[in-house]
Structure 1
Amino acid sequence: MASETAVSAPRTPRSESVAVDDYSLSRVPMSARYGWFQVAVQRFGQISALSQFLLGATLGFGMRFWDAFWAITLGAVILEIVSVLVGVIGVKEGLNTSVIARWTGFGKAGSALVGLAIGLSLIGWFGIQSGVSAAGLVSILPILPAWAWSLVFGLLVTAIVLRGFHSMQWLANVTVPLFLVLVGWAVVVELSRHSIAELAARAPAGPQLSFVAGTTLVAGGFIVGAVITPDMTRFNRSVGDVVKQTLLGVTLGEYVIGLAGVLLAHAVGSADITRVITSSVGWVGILVILLGTFKINDWNIYSSSLGVTNFIDAVFGKQVNRGLVTLVMGVVGSLLAAVGFLGALTPFLSVLGVVFPPIAGIMVAEYFVVKRWRRELSDAESIPATSPTWVPATLVIWAIASLCGYFVAVGIPSINSVVIAFVLYVVAGKVGLIRGVGVSRTEAAPAAVAHTAATEQGTPATAPAAAAAEPSA
């Protein structure tokens, strides 16, 4: 890994290009990383969005309170395990998900597919959620039509993400407390009309939802966020920080917001919680919707831009600035939301979502068990000079696990596919089937160039990446 001395990258970077590019193809230096609680606020903001509120309402509409509680508990544990394992890879290597994939079983071409899947999926959801927020804005300020608010909301989020992780941290510090206060107000107003004990004992108003189905909804609802955890944890300082922020962010996000949704669904006998909130507290309810969508949408476009940047680098050999990619994708996503086109893509995006869970299983199996490219990745001070071009066995495993996740209805589909991918990759590794085909040279990323220049001038380098990611407190 490039040393702190070699790479000039303080908390608020001096270089405008680095500030916008945000280490899209290079390791994040220790000097640009954050304390665990700061990143935990981002994680909580990511998982405590409006979608989590609606998930809780769906559970409450079809399950008794304590059944929903245990479904949320099991789903949260599953998400925490996946998030911690892939998050540890992120903090140790300081790289984002799609770049790490080059040396965790996928090869350069395979990582391009990972980046493309992330880019297409998350920019689609970015546009869809921009449209949801626009509908809320029309209710508060009908001075503009919904299509115009879609543009305003989407471009505003894009402008914040252009500045990278630093600006997103500022956004989290503002929106997360406000979201919690407003959600708390809306929930208290509605639940004050009922007895909590009576609500907890009440039968659900809707069709019964099984425990497995409820757990599937919880785990599947955030599995994509769990897979792309390295995009966030590369800004952590230690493995312990990753564990603390995951336990705090995921647990609070699932329980506080999810269970509030369960109780509200029991109180009003409906899963349409947005209508309940807006009718209870008026325009404040719209603010809840806006803030909840705002914080998740910045991560949608941020991780999307990282995936597409890696795709362009891997396929075309061009290192484009992440900020430029963010701008283009933000404008396109906002325009598609404005014309209502993305609504037709929801089924496609849902199907695309089944390809994500196996990615985590393969990355964890390679990095912690098979270790075919682990030493090559961890010992490099910047990033390895080469990577395998293709890993055919990985593509086969990825396809099999994705198909199992889509077609096999027994158990929890998203977790089935993670486990199947993990097991198949470990077995393939043990029998010698995990082999790279072709060798691709890694183009010098900005941080790597800075490190090389500093080394040539006699600046000492630090320990390898794995050691550098574990500084003393």
Structure 2
Amino acid sequence: MAANVPVSEKEKMSTMTDDYSLSRVPAEGKTPMWKVLMVQIGGFVALSQFMLGAELGYGMPFWDAIIATTLGSTLLEFIAFGLGVAGQREGLSTSLLSKWAGFGTLGSAIVGLTFAISLIGWFGIQNSIFAQGIISLLGGHINFALVATITGLVVTASVLFGFKGLSWTSNISVPAFIIVIGLATYNMLKGHTMTALITMAAPGTALTMSAAVTMVTGNFIIGAIIMPDLNRFNHNAKDVFMVSVVGTLIGELGVNVLGVLMAHAVGSQQIMPIIYQLTGGFGILLVIFSSVKVNDLNLYSATLDFANFFKQVFHWNLNRGMITIVAGVLGTFLSVIGLIDQFSGFLNILGVVFPPIASIMFIDYWVLKRSRKQLDESRAKGELPEKSEVFHPVTIVAWVVGSAVGFFVNWGISSLNVLVVSGLVYFIGMKIFDKQPQETVITETAPEKEEDDA
């Protein structure tokens, strides 16, 4: 039957599942800003963000929690916006953009693989939470493996359709979460005045400002780094500004504020008891299903990163749709057999490794502009640059030094320390050792034609 399908239809189906994973997003692939904004808000308006707000509110007075949220968000918003605009200009995902933003062919492959492993891990963890929530609502009489398999495959199916699938699930999950938050806020204010909630002391053990800001930035860093994955579908920098700023205000600040207030009202940092006390089982149900949005983003970005890894290392043009199926099944399998519980420690380690990537990419693209001429010339043709570095030693040094600061330096704000140190090391190192990059750095030429497109 496949032979009877017109070529144009085959191409259309391939584009839908591949989602420009190994190429620039062309003009016809761009989408209205509000669709990207809904996906961005969906990444924030989720259970994990609400949990962060509740933890801040449990350990801090209201205004201290707001200051911590504002500082943490602002610190990363600058880098998030810069990377988002770079992704929009070039039409490239984060891992592919990194090839011409400091990391070269080998570095971008490592970046892609690191992101992909981490995101598959989070996919498995979120899927386990999703399944456990459904089981608890149904009285605990259903087999976990069965429910986790079903939930994992359902999310995988939605991600198979790329950005369109993300947009579709956002249109369902975001309103569902807003309904829960609205209902919880209404019930909260029936028993407490706003003045009392704002002025009361924190109900739990005191949390320092440094620790709180680190928590906020740690929660946001992955979202900041993958900004190109979403914003490559935007039309211009103004759209990116709306997505990054409005998305952060509504999601990061808005949800955190409500989480803080509800932690004060209920006297708990455990989010499920808070939701249950204020909304009942109906609220729990909607919150569980709204968490699907976060897992969509986890799996979607992971597939882009895997595609880039196989392209750079093995020169395989694997279709993102095929990768989605394999990665989704793998993440689902890990959650079903329970190995994902042992994976969380490794994921925490990766959390220290990520910030230097954002800093290096930002400095290379916007400050040093080492590959901007190649990118500009190839963008005018709708192609990728023909040449790229294999790697540069300065990148590795900056990445390692920045990560080491995150592991061993305990003063100040950890994530900010990592960003600043890795950025400075990279900038100074390139100024000293990269005066003639085309002569001193190994480069590779892209193959003229790839025949093994999967």
Q: CA deviation at 1:385?
A: 1.3
Matches within 5 A, 1:161-176: 161-176=159-174
The structure whose residues are more often helix, as a share, is 2
TM-score by length of 1: 0.89
**Could you tell me which residue of structure 2 aligns to residue 354 of structure 1?**
352
Any conservation in 1 of the 2:394–2:430 contact (CA below 8 Å)?
no
**Could you tell me which residue of structure 2 aligns to residue 318 of structure 1?**
316
Matched, 1:58 2:85: no
Matches within 5 A, 1:366-377: 366-377=364-375
Letter in structure 2 aligned against 1:362: I
**Could you tell me which residue of structure 2 aligns to residue 468 of structure 1?**
none
Any conservation in 2 of the 1:150–1:337 contact (CA below 8 Å)?
yes
Matched, 1:71 2:72: no
Q: Secondary structure at the match of 2:390?
A: strand
Matches within 5 A, 1:408-423: 408-423=409-424
Any conservation in 2 of the 1:216–1:414 contact (CA below 8 Å)?
yes
**Could you tell me which residue of structure 2 aligns to residue 90 of structure 1?**
87
Which string of whole-angstrom CA distances, capped at 9 and with x for unpartnered residues, describes residues 146-203 of structure 1? 2221111111111000010012111112211121112211232234212221111111
Q: Distance in 1 between matches of 2:263 and 2:10?
A: 46
Q: Secondary structure at the match of 2:291?
A: helix
Q: CA deviation at 1:289?
A: 2.6
Q: CA deviation at 1:445?
A: 8.3
Which one of the candidate residues 122, 134, 143 is aligned to 1:137?
134
Q: Distance in 2 between matches of 1:62 and 1:445?
A: 58
Q: Secondary structure at the match of 2:388?
A: strand
Matched, 1:425 2:426: yes
Q: Provide closer, same or farther for how the CA distance between residues 350 and 95 of structure 1 changes in structure 2, counting only shifts above 3 A.
A: same
**Could you tell me which residue of structure 1 aligns to residue 118 of structure 2?**
121
Q: CA deviation at 1:143?
A: 5.7
Q: Distance in 1 between matches of 2:89 and 2:15?
A: 21
Q: CA deviation at 1:140?
A: 2.5
Q: Secondary structure at the match of 1:236?
A: coil
Q: Distance in 1 between matches of 2:16 and 2:243?
A: 24
**Could you tell me which residue of structure 1 aligns to residue 403 of structure 2?**
402
**Could you tell me which residue of structure 2 aligns to residue 109 of structure 1?**
106
Q: Distance in 2 between matches of 1:80 and 1:197?
A: 30
Q: Distance in 1 between matches of 2:446 and 2:299?
A: 25
Any conservation in 2 of the 1:264–1:273 contact (CA below 8 Å)?
no
**Could you tell me which residue of structure 1 aligns to residue 3 of structure 2?**
none
Task: Decide which moves more: 232-241 or 433-442.
Answer: 433-442
Identity %: 41
Which string of whole-angstrom CA distances, capped at 9 and with x for unpartnered residues, describes residues 383-436 of structure 1? 011211111110111110111122212222112211212222221222233746
Q: Distance in 2 between matches of 1:415 and 1:284?
A: 39
Matched, 1:440 2:437: no
**Could you tell me which residue of structure 2 aligns to residue 286 of structure 1?**
284
Q: Provide closer, same or farther for how the CA distance between residues 443 and 260 of structure 1 changes in structure 2, counting only shifts above 3 A.
A: farther
Any conservation in 1 of the 2:88–2:231 contact (CA below 8 Å)?
yes
Q: Provide closer, same or farther for how the CA distance between residues 62 and 444 of structure 1 changes in structure 2, counting only shifts above 3 A.
A: farther
Any conservation in 1 of the 2:225–2:358 contact (CA below 8 Å)?
yes
Q: CA deviation at 1:325?
A: 0.8
Q: CA deviation at 1:90?
A: 0.1
Any conservation in 2 of the 1:97–1:228 contact (CA below 8 Å)?
yes
Q: Provide closer, same or farther for how the CA distance between residues 117 and 123 of structure 1 changes in structure 2, counting only shifts above 3 A.
A: same
Matches within 5 A, 1:119-268: 119-141=116-138, 142=140, 144-268=142-266
Q: Secondary structure at the match of 1:222?
A: helix
RMSD: 1.9
Which string of whole-angstrom CA distances, capped at 9 and with x for unpartnered residues, describes residues 435-461 of structure 1? 464322334689xx9xxxxxxxxxxxx
Which string of whole-angstrom CA distances, capped at 9 and with x for unpartnered residues, describes residues 93-139 of structure 1? 00001111111111100001100110000110000000011111012
Letter in structure 2 aligned against 1:352: L
**Could you tell me which residue of structure 2 aligns to residue 304 of structure 1?**
302
The alignment of Structure 1 onto Structure 2 pairs a total of residues equal to: 438
**Could you tell me which residue of structure 1 aligns to residue 4 of structure 2?**
none
**Could you tell me which residue of structure 2 aligns to residue 384 of structure 1?**
385
Any conservation in 2 of the 1:191–1:264 contact (CA below 8 Å)?
no
Which one of the candidate residues 331, 334, 340 is aligned to 1:333?
331
Letter in structure 2 aligned against 1:136: G
Matched, 1:43 2:47: no
Which one of the candidate residues 65, 78, 81 is aligned to 1:81?
78
Q: Distance in 1 between matches of 2:202 and 2:158?
A: 41
Q: Provide closer, same or farther for how the CA distance between residues 328 and 412 of structure 1 changes in structure 2, counting only shifts above 3 A.
A: same
**Could you tell me which residue of structure 1 aligns to residue 31 of structure 2?**
34
Q: Distance in 2 between matches of 1:319 and 1:13?
A: 17
Any conservation in 2 of the 1:109–1:389 contact (CA below 8 Å)?
yes
Any conservation in 1 of the 2:176–2:287 contact (CA below 8 Å)?
no
Any conservation in 1 of the 2:180–2:287 contact (CA below 8 Å)?
no
Q: Distance in 2 between matches of 1:77 and 1:437?
A: 35
Q: CA deviation at 1:14?
A: 5.8
Letter in structure 2 aligned against 1:355: V
Q: Secondary structure at the match of 1:282?
A: helix
Q: Secondary structure at the match of 1:431?
A: helix
Q: CA deviation at 1:341?
A: 1.1
**Could you tell me which residue of structure 2 aligns to residue 364 of structure 1?**
362
Q: Distance in 2 between matches of 1:402 and 1:433?
A: 22
Q: Secondary structure at the match of 2:235?
A: coil
Structure 2 unpaired stretches of 5+: 1-6
Q: Distance in 2 between matches of 1:114 and 1:346?
A: 19
After superposing on structure 2, the runs of 4+ consecutive aligned residues of structure 1 that deviate more than 6 Å are: none
Q: Secondary structure at the match of 1:372?
A: coil
TM-score by length of 2: 0.93
Which string of whole-angstrom CA distances, capped at 9 and with x for unpartnered residues, describes residues 266-301 of structure 1? 111110121221243222222233233111110000
Task: Decide which moves more: 274-283 or 413-422.
Answer: 274-283
Letter in structure 2 aligned against 1:106: F
Task: Decide which moves more: 103-112 or 193-202.
Answer: 193-202
